[in-house]
Amino acid sequence: MTGIVDCDVHPAPVSSQVLDDFLPFGWRDRRQLAQYLPQQWQRYREALGDRSYMGAEYPRPTPRAARGDSWPGNGGPPGSDLGLLREQLLDAWQIDYGVMNPLLGAGEQLNLEYGGALCHAINDWQREVWTSPEPRLHASVCVPFEDAGLSVAEIRRVAADEAFCQVLVHCRTQEPLGRRKYWPIYEAAVEYRLPVAIHFGGWGGHPPTPAGFPSFYIEDTFSMAAAFAAQLTSLVFEGVLERFPGLRFVLIESGLTWLPGYFARLDRSWRLLHDEVAHVSRTPSEQVRAQVAVTTQPFDEPGPPSRLADFFAKLGMDDRVLFSTDYPHWDFESPGHGPLRLLDPVRKQRIMRDNAMEWFRFGNRAHG
């Protein structure tokens, strides 16, 4: 099929120095200062710059968790070469729109100010290196999401540019995303009519599972669904979805087969414990279905292909499921393989293209 929208593409800088050129004035100033003071800024970035939570090593199944054939000839990592990305993804699969989710750790910097500077750099880099030369690609507003003030400032700085189609946060945060400290980010997202994407990964300083540190990468990745579930629970029970009716979320790389069972438990618990969360007036699963979209990759298949239609009927999110490949990662899902190609044509058209076109208002993006 043609005209596909891919809601999860991962660009990478060719080298760690690339982003330096895009650092905002304050930090660039420090680098200039470093010419006079003994290399303070270079030292910060090289010796101290990317300081995040430590102590959770789960080696991936492939180098940089990437497809073996996605290493470009430019000496950089997978996802760092526009030519190869066009060849392997946009042209190969006739993708009209691709949503980039740069996973460069900016949101989980312990030094929040530095995290903000890094987001600033990443956003300018997306624009200059990716979306300007390749209009099929769209950017995410990277924000230092643990600091709402810095995040709002960054949204305001770039969101009017239609190259940006969503605000990006990570799934494992310091606090559940419904907590009040994050609300200014949502207000800004609503103001600019941008969905907030919650992407697989990140680290807010808590163990990767609610029962502590697991042993294996397979558990680390398995338990990400639990983090997504906790975020949805928080967004519903804190009343965020009701408080901001224009607010929309996208779950990226969350998997989706856990959702129907989760909805049953969520609604049942809301009825049982309603006194405590009396401010939540609408059935939780209805709120999620109205305001949350979910991407397809990795498609954690609900049994044999014959059960697919039954599963989607149970999910009840036909207009909220968005196709994604996760290029260039090891578990890339091509539009031409996998169980989604077996969907009926109507559903397939919605998932592969129409839902995302509406969700991101591609081709119809006058702000305000």
Partner 1 sequence: MIDADVHAVITDSGVLAPYLERQWVEYMSISQFRGPTDNSYPPSAATSLRPDAVGMPPVTVTQLTDAVFTGDVEAAVLSCSYAVDSVHNPNAADALARAVNRWLADEWLGVDPRLYGTVLVTPQSPADAVRQIEEATGNGRFVQVALPVRSLSPYGLRGYWPIFEAAAAAGLAVALHFGGSPGLAPTSTGWPTYYAEEYVDMASSFQVQLASIVLSGLFSRLPALRLVAAEAGTSWVPGMTWRLDRLWRALRREVPWVTSPPSEYLREHVRFTMQPFDAGPSGPEPDMVLYSSDYPHWHGEDLGQRWLASLDDSGQAAVLRGNAAGWYGIPR
> Which residues of the chain form contacts with partner 1 (CB under 8 A)?
61, 171-179, 204, 206-219, 221-223, 225-227, 229-231, 233-234, 237-238, 255, 257-262, 264-266, 268-277, 298, 300-303, 314, 331
Give min distance, CB of 77 to partner 1, in A. 21
The burial class, CB within 10 Å (0-12 / 13-18 / 19+), for 345 is exposed
Nearer to partner 1, 24 or 260 (CB): 260
Distance between CA 284 and CA 326 in Å, rounded?
Answer: 29
Give min distance, CB of 317 to partner 1, in A. 14
Distance between CA 294 and CA 299 in Å, rounded?
Answer: 11
Give min distance, CB of 154 to partner 1, in A. 22
Nearer to partner 1, 271 or 341 (CB): 271
Give min distance, CB of 57 to partner 1, in A. 13
Distance between CA 204 and CA 36 in Å, rounded?
Answer: 36
Nearer to partner 1, 154 or 238 (CB): 238
Two structure tokens written together for 194: 């941008």
Nearer to partner 1, 60 or 156 (CB): 60
Residues in the chain: 368
251 bridge partner residues: 198, 294
CB distance 196 to 169 below 8 Å? yes
**Cα 54 to chain center, whole Å?**
22
Give min distance, CB of 164 to partner 1, in A. 25
Nearer to partner 1, 151 or 221 (CB): 221
97 bridge partner residues: 5
Residue with tokens 């990759």: 297
Residue with tokens 């699969």: 93
Distance between CA 237 and CA 184 in Å, rounded?
Answer: 18
343-347-201-289 Cα dihedral, nearest 10 degrees: -140
Nearer to partner 1, 329 or 350 (CB): 329
Give min distance, CB of 173 to partner 1, in A. 5
Element (H, E) at 89: none
Give min distance, CB of 203 to partner 1, in A. 9
Distance between CA 96 and CA 79 in Å, rounded?
Answer: 18
Nearer to partner 1, 58 or 192 (CB): 58
Two structure tokens written together for 260: 């129907």
Nearer to partner 1, 25 or 216 (CB): 216
Two structure tokens written together for 170: 């990570």
Nearer to partner 1, 142 or 315 (CB): 315
Give min distance, CB of 84 to partner 1, in A. 24
Element (H, E) at 163: none
Give min distance, CB of 300 to partner 1, in A. 4
CA distance readout (Å), 287 to 240, 263, 281, 292:
10, 11, 10, 8
